Amino acid sequence: MTLKPWAVFLTLSMPKPKTGVFLDMALYQAAEQQKKKAYGLETLQEQMQIFETMALADQVAMLSDAVTHHKEIEHAMEEMIRVYLSRDLAQLQAVSDKYMGLDDPALAQRLMTKLIDERNRRMVERMGARLKEGGAFVAVGALHLPGERGILHLLQQRGYRVSAVY
């Protein structure tokens, strides 16, 4: 099997699974069991395009960073989980910023723009119809929530009232 550098980077950057079931799948299965409709906010192709359109040199640099700093990345994931559970989204962003792009901050910024900021705008646009219907449950990764370009702020700019319910 041959993998592109970005695919190996993602594999090395993911925390080790504890249950074998990804949260996305668990939420989808729960919706199915409750006979609720589930809608995607983006396609797999859109997600893959983020990496497929990257220059090979950038993919290799990301992979090198992941290999060189593997222990730091593991520590970052543990710290991000701890901070997320404390409900401190600003600190979650700070932890991500601290560990992202240790070797090439400019590359990290370009990646986060594509991986987070551009997707946030697309997801907010697409969730609009479901939110207007009412009763929507929307699940996104935690790093999509904080900041001026985060989904929570983008929703507030569109007139939605946002509050924590957990």
Asked if 75 contacts 49 with a C-beta cutoff of 8 angstroms, the reply is no
pLDDT digits (tens, 9 = 90+) for 2-35: 889 999 888 887 777 777 778 888 888 998 999 8
Residues of the chain above pLDDT 90, percent: 43
105: number of Cβ within 10 Å: 11
The pTM of this model reads 0.86
Amino acid at 62: M
What would the pLDDT profile of 32-51 be if each residue is shown by its tens digit? 999 888 889 999 999 999 99
